A = this chain, B = another copy of it.
Amino acid sequence: MIEQVNQAGYERSRDSLRDISPDLMRFAIEFGYGDVLSRPGLDIKLRQIATVAALTVLGDAQPQLKFHIQGALNVGCTRQEIIELITQMSVYAGFPKAINAMVVARDVFQELDVQGN
């Protein structure tokens, strides 16, 4: 499942904490991806939409937001859907959180453009 969502992003996160706390990242994967996200009943695209919504609202989770915007694209969301989703969050969580998340989305899209994706 992690392969589908964002394998490269996961490996970077895991490696950055390998020396101090391999278990926290292992839990995030085993519980997050193994137990929860791989359950049937909600398709993977809906799950990624929900995750980007949640991280936009949390506000202080920018590395994770970047990871999951990339993940949402990887499972088939379009850039336009992500822009719409973040715009919608201004209704529920105010403009600052929506604008700051949009800046993260812009950066993800620009990196992909540079890489030719």
Using CB atoms and an 8 Å cutoff, list the residues of chain A in contact with chain B: 13, 16-17, 19-21, 23-25, 27-28, 31-32, 35-37, 39, 41-42, 46-47, 49-61, 63-64, 80-81, 83-100, 102-103, 105-106, 109
Q: Is the CB of B90 within 8 A of A20?
A: no
B92 and A21: CB pair below 8 A?
no
Interface of A is mostly: helix
Q: Is the CB of B106 within 8 A of A36?
A: no
CA gap between A28 and B28 in the complex, in Å: 14
Number of copies: 6
Which of B46, B57, B93, B106 has a CB less than 8 Å from the CB of A49?
A: B46
**Nearest CB of B to A90, in Å:** 7
Residues of B within 8 A of A92 (CB): 51, 54-55, 58, 61, 64, 94-96
